Amino acid sequence: DSGVTQTPKHLITATGQRVTLRCSPRSGDLSVYWYQQSLDQGLQFLIQYYNGEERAKGNILERFSAQQFPDLHSELNLSSLELGDSALYFCASSARGGHSPLHFGNGTRLTVT
């Protein structure tokens, strides 16, 4: 158990809809990362927060947004969903940022129909 909690585990929704994925980092970790993993693909970095502030941005679509709250949990919002958004979305946390291991949750599987 990595200590990172993601909810929900599964999400099925229709095109055009909006969903929110939630992540609770490991106790004490200040950095939260979001990654997208499509079928048989690697992990694509979306965005990182550190202690509530956006720190780094990857290939995140404008339809997607995220935030980290004062209690350090994070949410990833996906809107105007398309079929191609179907993927596993992983949250990870680390103590210090890029030069310490990221600890991953078990992901949210999003299916857009």
Q: What's the token pair of residue 77?
A: 């919002």
Ranges within 61-80 binding other proteins (CB under 8 A): none
Among 45, 52, 61, 95, binds other proteins (CB under 8 A): 45
Phi, psi at 59, each rounded to 5°: -85, 60
Among 56, 60, 61, 95, binds other proteins (CB under 8 A): 56
99 lies in the binding site for other proteins (CB under 8 A): yes
Q: How far apart are CA 64 and CA 85, in angstroms?
A: 10
CB proximity list for 113: less than 8 A, separation 6 or greater: 12, 13, 14, 15, 83
Segment near other proteins (CB under 8 A), from 20-28, 61-69, 73-81, 91-99?
Answer: 91-99
CB proximity list for 96: less than 8 A, separation 6 or greater: 30, 31
5 lies in the binding site for other proteins (CB under 8 A): no
Q: How far apart are CA 18 and CA 110, in angstroms?
A: 11
Nearer to other proteins, 48 or 85 (CB): 48
Contacts with other proteins, residue ranges (CB under 8 A): 2, 4, 31, 33, 35, 41-45, 48, 50, 55-56, 58, 90, 92, 97-99, 101-107
